[in-house]
Amino acid sequence: MKRIITYGSFDLTHVGHINLLRRAKQMGDYLIVALSTDEFNVIKGKHAIFSYEHRKKILESIRFVDLVIPECNWEQKIQDVIELQADVFVMGHDWEGKFDFLVPYCEVVYLPRTEDISTTEIKHIIKMS
């Protein structure tokens, strides 16, 4: 079984997230999503609209996602890849090169983001209304 892992906040889930998850799942048999906890989002300087539990429930309801785990810190990625036996680490192309340190442990793939949609932009529009 080929295992894929990806990471993110997945706040205000939109078609860009769905596209990324679908393409990630197409790369293997089992998709693991490491979802940023509320506490980790604070460390990253992000504020999620929805709580970790709500974002987790949304991700678990998406047919491409097989397992959702908490992402609590930047350093856990190597350990997650090893413990969960991930074969491929997938992130959006805007992170290109940032996770190449995982290459000794798994394949690293940067997928193109869906054009014309971003959570940051959605939050900005909401704030302006």
Q: Which residues are catalytic?
A: 44, 46
Residue count (the chain): 129
Which residue type occupies 61? Answer: S
Order of strands, edge to edge, in the sheet holding 67-71?
67-71, 30-36, 3-8, 88-92, 107-111
CA torsion angle for 104, 75, 25, 82 (degrees, to 10)?
A: 50
Label residue 108 left, alpha or beta by phi (over 0 means left) and psi (-120 to 50 means alpha). beta
